[in-house]
A and B are shown apart, each in its own frame.
Chain A
Amino acid sequence: MAKRIEASNVTSYYGSFKAIDGISMTVEPKTITALIGPSGCGKSTFLRSVNRMHEVLPGARIEGRLTIDDQNIYDADVDVTAVRRMIGMVFQRPNPFPTMSIYENVVAGLKLNGAKKKSVLDDACENSLRSANLWDEVKDRLGRPGAGLSGGQQQRLCIARTIAVEPQVVLMDEPCSALDPISTLAIEDLMFKLKDRFTIIIVTHNMQQAARVSDKTGFFSIDKTGDPGRLIEYDDTQKIFSNPTEKKTEDYITGRFG
């Protein structure tokens, strides 16, 4: 089910500000790709342009091609909601719907798609929560508000909500940056498990995390503030962290970055 993503020469703007410039990369199915780099270098912008979430901000536009299994998601006749159903997203801060219970949060996407049958929703809820390693912790309180869980649990709830609609790609935008180390570990375990079913792209500030979880790593950087972000190097994670080709990558990895 998981699909290949190809970006060729993706350039994105917010109004007149060029956020990223000429990003080209190919993400293979059922792999984890980590995007690393200093703050403001366009990792998140690139990630959000993969499922067209960047369009939510006014004035955002994009140039270049972004294909998922050879379909350009920026073609004029593409339905943006279909893109987002196919490419799910987990955000930096856990964002369960505050007015909904745990159960309702997980099945929210299914309900949008027209699923009504209780038994189906129940099954889907349990499956997703199990996949998100959360079932045992919440199975007795599915009716309680999702916002009442701990931060790590909330983030896993959001992952469950995302995978409940069976996307093919899951984007994660610094999913652990608001979590403590133990919750972070739980999410990382989860990513390994999900790799069997989904293509995963994760933006992270934590280089150990990138080294631990990812198959491939892309390093983004900017020359100076106000310049667009560029993809400096994109290669196997092992190579990036042991023997990077680019001097800039090495500087960043070894902590010698400006």
Chain B
Amino acid sequence: MSLLQKELSDVVMTPSGLRSKRLPVAVNLVIAVAAIVVAAALVLGLSIGGWPLVAVVAGILYLVGLFVAATRVEGRRSARNKIMQALIYAACILAVLPLASVVWTLISKGAGRLDGNFFGSSMNNIGARDPLGGAYHAIIGTLEQVGLATLMAVPLGVLGAIYLVEYGRGRFALTVRFFVDVMTGIPSIVAGLFILAFWVLIVSPWFNNGTPRFSGFAASLALTVLMLPTIVRSTEEMLRLVPGPLREGAYALGVPQWKTILKIVLPTALPGIVTGVMLAVARAAGETAPVLLVAGGAAAINFDPFAGNQSSLALFVYQQAGDASRYAPDRAWTAALTLVALVLILTIAAKLLARRNRLS
């Protein structure tokens, strides 16, 4: 007898046998059926709720029953293991339910206005009783704003990443890196307020005879603020993957560092950088708050992003959602479906691109 076994009579250090009883599957099933029956009897009998409550109570009863049965047959440790596994599986199911509902609603409600009129017309002169009206102007707005934002954010972000990877040393680079990460968490509404205060209220009056002016460009400035940290971080990661010997090979040939970066490092990392940019674009395209604050929204088509109100798809969804017209929800859902399609196509394409690169 070892010392431990003498002192710890309740602790089975060395199991006498390796065999252990297992809870038969049949018992598992019996517990499940019993849980449902008891729950239904309890809930419906006392008429304290409907079928959703039955499901919840049955789930809880099943877990309790399983734990008790498993503890008696297999022991406490094994029972706990089982319950945790059950809870982890339950978490997955619980999360899938609302998400499935979102997808289902998007498709079923969004299909309502998937017609040529929706994609070919704006909301100009569309009254509350008018069933038509579309998101053409909003799509134009989204494309222009996101396009401009990409044009500004990509060079800035890539250069910033180059600084962090190739040139940045010491405390300053660490600070920049840290705040790039912090900046990814800035709420989009704060970015919108910043551009509102800085561009719309202070700078834009200079170009507009002293009165502040909303514009799609202001929205793209706000989106730039939101895209910049994402692009810096993803580009930085990609640049770090470029192997050192590749750079050293170029230096050994006498190629200056800036040329090495532009001609060797960047092209090597390009597919990864594109992936990161596409993900950032997808996120920016879905932003509502900044556009609401600095582009103002509009019912009519405005091709000029530098002057006058513009809408965007996300903002269109939000405004239609707040519209009292009984035709507005249909428009909102179809626009939401369009927006999700746009965003998901970009995201999936980006991920597939990343995957292909990784595999090759």
Q: Are the CB atoms of A83 and B8 closer together than 8 Å? A: no
Cβ contact within 8 Å between B20 and A82: yes
Write the chain A residue with the least CB distance to B17: A71
Say how far A73's CB is from chain B's closest CB, in angstroms: 6
Query: Which residue of chain B is the closest to A79 with respect to CB atoms?
Result: B20
Interface range on chain A: under 10, 10 to 19, 20 to 34, or 35 or more? 20 to 34
Known A-B contacts A78-B20, A81-B77, A166-B2; A86 and B15 likewise in contact (beta carbons under 8 Å): yes
Chain B residues near A77: list those with CB within 8 A: 19-22
Interface size class of B (residues with CB under 8 A): 20 to 34
Q: Is A115 within 8 A of B8, CB to CB?
A: yes
Q: Which of A82, A115, A166 contacts B18 (CB 8 A)?
A: A82
CB neighbours of A85 from chain B (8 A): 13-15
The CA-CA distance from A82 to B76 in the complex, in Å, is 14
Question: Which residue of the partner chain, among B2, B18, B22, contacts A1 with CB atoms under 8 Å?
Answer: B2
Chain B residues whose C-beta falls within 8 Å of the C-beta of A120 in the assembled complex = 4, 7-8
B5 CB contacts on chain A under 8 angstroms: 166
Inter-chain contacts of A123 with B (CB < 8 A): 3, 7
| Nearest CB on A from B152, distance (A) | 44
**Which residues of chain B have C-beta atoms less than 8 A from A187's C-beta?**
none
Which residues between 293 and 349 of chain B lie within 8 Å of chain A, taking CB atoms? none
* Bound: A110/B7 CA distance, A: 13
Q: In the complex, what distance in Å separates the CA atom of A77 from the CA atom of B20?
A: 6
Contact of A78 among B8, B19, B76 (CB under 8 A): B19
Asked if A165 is an interface residue, CB under 8 A from chain B, the answer is yes
Are A114 and B11 in contact, with the CB atoms below 8 A?
A: yes
Given known contacts A115-B4, A120-B7, what 19 new A-B pairs fall within 8 Å (CB)? A1-B2, A71-B17, A71-B18, A71-B19, A77-B20, A77-B21, A79-B15, A85-B14, A85-B15, A112-B77, A113-B12, A117-B7, A117-B8, A166-B2, A166-B4, A166-B13, A166-B14, A167-B14, A168-B14
B residues at A contact (CB < 8 Å): 2-5, 7-8, 10-15, 17-22, 76-78
Interface residues of A (CB under 8 A from B): 1, 68, 71, 73, 75, 77-79, 81-83, 85-86, 110, 112-115, 117, 120, 123-124, 127, 165-168
